Amino acid sequence: MTMKSFEQQLQNKRDNNQYRHREVLQSPQSVRIRLNGKQYLSFSSNDYLGLANDPRIIEASIDALRHYGLGSGAAHLITGHSYLHHQLEDMLAQHTGRSRALLYSTGYMANVGAISALCGKGDLVVEDKLNHASLIDGGLISDAKFKRYKHSDMENLEAILSKSVETNKLIVTDGVFSMDGDIAAMPLIMKLAKKYQADVFVDDAHGFGVLGNRGGGICEQFSLIKDDEPIIMGTLGKAFGVFGAFIAGSENLIEWLIQQSRMYVFTTAMPPSLAAASIKSLEIIQKENYRREHLTDLITFFRNEVKKIGLSLMPSLTPIQPIIVGEEKKALEWSDYLRDHGVLVKAIRPPTVPIGTSRLRITFSAAHSKEDVSTLIKLLAKLV
């Protein structure tokens, strides 16, 4: 594509209702936000536990700013690996029941950095078709043979594994699928992995902090407690309300990533104050069960009420509750209607989701009240 043809391509996007633009947030992330000068009740963040603006976490971060300053000033392997980073890694290892954890600056980098360090020429990466873009990119740049199986289709996965000739095989899956909200069939995936001697990598961006009794995520939920079975990627920017990500697994896995993962080696460490914030956030996540319990109540309430008004839901038990609308235009109209009535729900369109499955992606937070959910339901009822 030349620069000149961008104009035509951009126009195509407008014509297809696929054009995207950013809006300016003028308040902290929360369920009540100020966006583009207007106040909204929002169902559009990944701040599942309502921690993004928690005063205790902010305080911990300010404290760290005073002691450790602002910038980390270097990569982890040079002089950027502070005491706080180290402490957070130890805590994350303990929380996930793994031997070690390794911080990355973002989840995107953790996925690409880990998959491309674990697999290369002559290996096989097998991914669920609905995996997050960063997992797909990790598989693609790894140079391994790259295959995708139909969403959560274990027969399809087995067919691929049984035909493979590669010795090193890595099965890669989202824990909670980010646009559908359903959960990967981890026990079945682990069973197939064992049968075909493959490793498993699970991206728990939306489950970590939310699933499991103590917020240990999808592996706690399914009692998957062995070091690299599976390898875990978790993010700190969603339920944690902070920023960053990590990989958790065995001693050898983490040492290998430290030597070999380009997205780890060749980048500046996150500011130590963010590590301090995540330490505080983890303490809260472990202690305050009522956040997860309240969230579960809201999800159950929402699903019951939505069925009453005749809208169909996806089989999701997580805070991600999409309503499939179909065409891009209709999804935008529905989203606009809600917005005109003070409620923010984003329309998700291709290429983020397959054509014909444009949707309202509703996400819940422990900071929502039942009344907030009722407000949303009442408006949705007018759209049916």
Closer of 113 and 306 to ligand PLP (Cβ):
113
For 126-136, give one letter per residue: b (16+ CB within 10 A) or e. Answer: bbbebbbebbb
The answer to whether 197 touches 152, Cβ cutoff 8 Å, is: no
The reply to whether 206 belongs to the active site is yes
Integer distance in angstroms from the first to the last C-alpha of the chain? 42
DSSP, res 180: T
Binding status of residue 230 toward ligand PLP by CB under 6 A: no
The Cα 180–Cα 221 span in angstroms is 19
SS (H, E, C) 222-265: CCCCECCECEEEEECCCCCCCCCEEEEECHHHHHHHHHHCHHHH
Q: What is the nearest approach in angstroms of ligand PLP to the Cβ of residue 261?
A: 15
Binding status of residue 132 toward ligand PLP by CB under 6 A: yes
The reply to whether 238 belongs to the active site is yes
**Of positions 50, 80, 181, 237, contacts ligand PLP by CB under 6 A:** 237
| Amino acid code (one letter) for 318 | T
Binding status of residue 216 toward ligand PLP by CB under 6 A: no
The reply to whether 178 belongs to the active site is yes
Binding status of residue 178 toward ligand PLP by CB under 6 A: yes
**Of positions 107, 209, 212, 230, contacts ligand PLP by CB under 6 A:** 107
Closer of 263 and 306 to ligand PLP (Cβ):
263
The Cα 254–Cα 95 span in angstroms is 16
Closer of 147 and 206 to ligand PLP (Cβ):
206
Binding status of residue 174 toward ligand PLP by CB under 6 A: yes
**Of positions 130, 245, 257, 274, contacts ligand PLP by CB under 6 A:** 245
Helix 107-118, helix 251-260: angle, nearest 10? 100
User: Strand 100-104 vs strand 320-326: parallel, antiparallel, or unpaired?
Assistant: unpaired
Binding status of residue 92 toward ligand PLP by CB under 6 A: no
Active-site hit among 76, 238, 280, 368: 238
Q: What is the nearest approach in angstroms of ligand PLP to the Cβ of residue 124?
A: 21
**Contact footprint for ligand PLP (CB under 6 A):** 106-108, 111, 132, 134, 174, 178, 203, 205-206, 235, 237, 245
